[in-house]
Amino acid sequence: MDWIYDIKDPLTETLLGSILIFIVVIIFTRIIGLRSFAKFTAYDFAFTVAIGSIISSTLTSSTSIAHGSVAIGSLLVLTYIFSTLQKKFPALSSTISNKPLLLMKGSEILEDNLTSARIEKSQLMAKLREANVSKLNQVQAVILESTGDISVLHTMEEDAEFSQIDTEILNSVREKP
């Protein structure tokens, strides 16, 4: 029955180790940048990697199911706590996850923001083409989202001068890196 529970299992150390690894992965992800793990926030990525690692360790090594379950449970509780704290303390949310970054404001390409986000101008142009933008004056805004996606807000050519974006849509978007 040692594979289910072993009295020698360091459950407290596993709990603390899970928390530390989770935080380390978030920090590294923030340092590396948003584009490294498209479709994930740093928080999502850290959680996914940690859970996968724990499951792998539990299934392929001498780690008991109880040990792995405590580790997974601690990460799930940690995720719940972080989610609750992010709602109560917006500053924590901005510490854990990047805020969206403006890459283009109207037809102006914000070169410093591209550099900061490590996005090449050719990648930006490819996203504009994907969004069926045929002229730069059609662009209202291009945003690097917190998930690493790039959103293109644009109008049809004849509407370009008359369309404005609701301020609510760009409310949490940073204009400076």
CATH number at residue 151: 3.30.240.20
pLDDT > 90 fraction of the chain, expressed in percent and rounded: 28
Report yes or no on 167 lying in a domain: no
Residues 21 and 53 in one domain: yes
Q: Residue 20 burial (CB < 10 Å; 0-12/13-18/19+)?
A: exposed
C-alpha 48/C-alpha 41 separation (Å) is: 11
Q: Cite the DSSP H helix spans in 89-136.
A: 90-96, 111-117, 121-130
Report yes or no on 125 lying in a domain: yes
Report yes or no on 152 lying in a domain: yes
Residues 80 and 121 in one domain: no
On the question of pLDDT at 30 being above 60, the answer is yes
C-alpha 83/C-alpha 75 separation (Å) is: 12
Stronger pLDDT, 25 or 133, i.e. the higher one: 133
On the question of pLDDT at 66 being above 60, the answer is yes
Please tell me whether the overall predicted TM-score, pTM, comes out greater than 0.75 for this model.
no
Residues 76 and 112 in one domain: no
Q: Which of 96, 113, 131 is the last residue of a domain?
A: 96
Report yes or no on 52 lying in a domain: yes
On the question of pLDDT at 31 being above 90, the answer is no
Per-chain mean pLDDT for the chain: 81
**Tell me, what's the pLDDT at 132?**
93
**Tell me, what's the pLDDT at 114?**
95
Q: How many structural domains are present in the chain?
A: 2
Q: Which of 41, 65, 96 is the last residue of a domain?
A: 96
C-alpha 82/C-alpha 167 separation (Å) is: 28
Residues 77 and 110 in one domain: no
Q: Which of 15-19, 99-103, 158-162 has the lowest mean pLDDT?
A: 158-162
Residues 17 and 91 in one domain: yes
**Tell me, what's the pLDDT at 77?**
83
Residue-number span of the structural domain to which 107 is assigned: 101-159
Average pLDDT, integer, range 129-137: 93
Average pLDDT, integer, range 158-173: 75
**Tell me, what's the pLDDT at 140?**
92
Residues 120 and 49 in one domain: no
Report yes or no on 43 lying in a domain: yes
Average pLDDT, integer, range 118-135: 94
Report yes or no on 164 lying in a domain: no
**Tell me, what's the pLDDT at 108?**
95
Report yes or no on 169 lying in a domain: no
Q: Which of 96, 125, 147 is the last residue of a domain?
A: 96
Residues 143 and 76 in one domain: no
